[in-house]
Structure 1
């Protein structure tokens, strides 16, 4: 049915890829907005200190001194991948990087909180979506 609405299979693939790419990018940017308190102090993380605390909980198996560095690295990666995906720049590499970041996050969640946690938050679903974006972008020869 979507093909009929989109006009052709090629258009359906293009619209689906664009929607998934922007949705993934927006999800990363939403996390950034939350950790910097853009939604208010009582929404999401509320501030960066709360985010760093959560990063420590997710990475409970890591040494305490490494947590701020991991939190900062994740923030830079999420901001970069989010912007690149939303803007449609270097799509393939941004999507592969997103998939790697999400896989690491999901594994860390599973280690620290149990295997159900990353499933409850659809982390591996988002990871799979990022891989689909990367593969389709490569096949469509979109900007890499």
Structure 2
């Protein structure tokens, strides 16, 4: 069973990490422009507008700052999860970030939006990742950093 856990945690780390990095690259226009197939934003301005629709109770400048903070957190967590450094802390941060996305989306767009985008599922996956006691194929393991339970 341990063999499967090792493989599952690696897959989960990579899937969550790539999901975060894909969203970040979309926001800065690296994956294509607004309006192209499979491009959610295509540029920073479109992402800022979307952020403001999720946070209408905040002023535009504050929602822009929140969008930047969320993007920076996603970039950081994405990289850390993929390389497996500070994995437990990154997984907990990812869980909380994704859960906050899910709640805000539910409040402003309705429950179907975070369900359609699997935000609750990704959040739960990050939470499960945080509960593991060992990350075999990780920089943490290579450096001898074993998570504390």
Please give the TM-score of this superposition, normalised by the length of structure 2. 0.85
Distance 2:103 2:58 in 1: 13
* Among 124, 130, 134, the residue aligned to 1:128: 124
CA distance in 2, matches of 1:73, 1:104: 13
Instruction: Tell me the number of residue pairs that the alignment of Structure 1 and Structure 2 aligns.
Output: 134
Is it true that 1:18 corresponds to 2:10 in the alignment? Answer: yes
- Separation of aligned partners in 2, 1:40 and 1:141: 34
CA RMSD across the alignment? 1.3
4+ residue segments displaced more than 6 Å: none
Q: Which residue of 2 aligns with 1:54?
A: 50
1:4 counterpart residue number? none
Say yes or no: does 1:38 pair with 2:30.
Answer: yes
State TM-score, norm by structure 1. 0.88
Equivalent residues of 1:55, 1:67 under 8 A apart: yes
Of 134, 137, 145, 1:140 maps to 134
Per-residue CA distance 1:55-109 (angstroms, 9 max, x = gap): 1111123233311110110011000000000111000000000000001100000
Query: What secondary structure is seen at the aligned counterpart in 2 of 1:140?
Result: coil
Contact 1:25/1:85 (CA < 8 Å) preserved in 2?
yes
Pick aligned residue for 1:81 from 77, 82, 86: 77
**Higher relative helix content:** 1
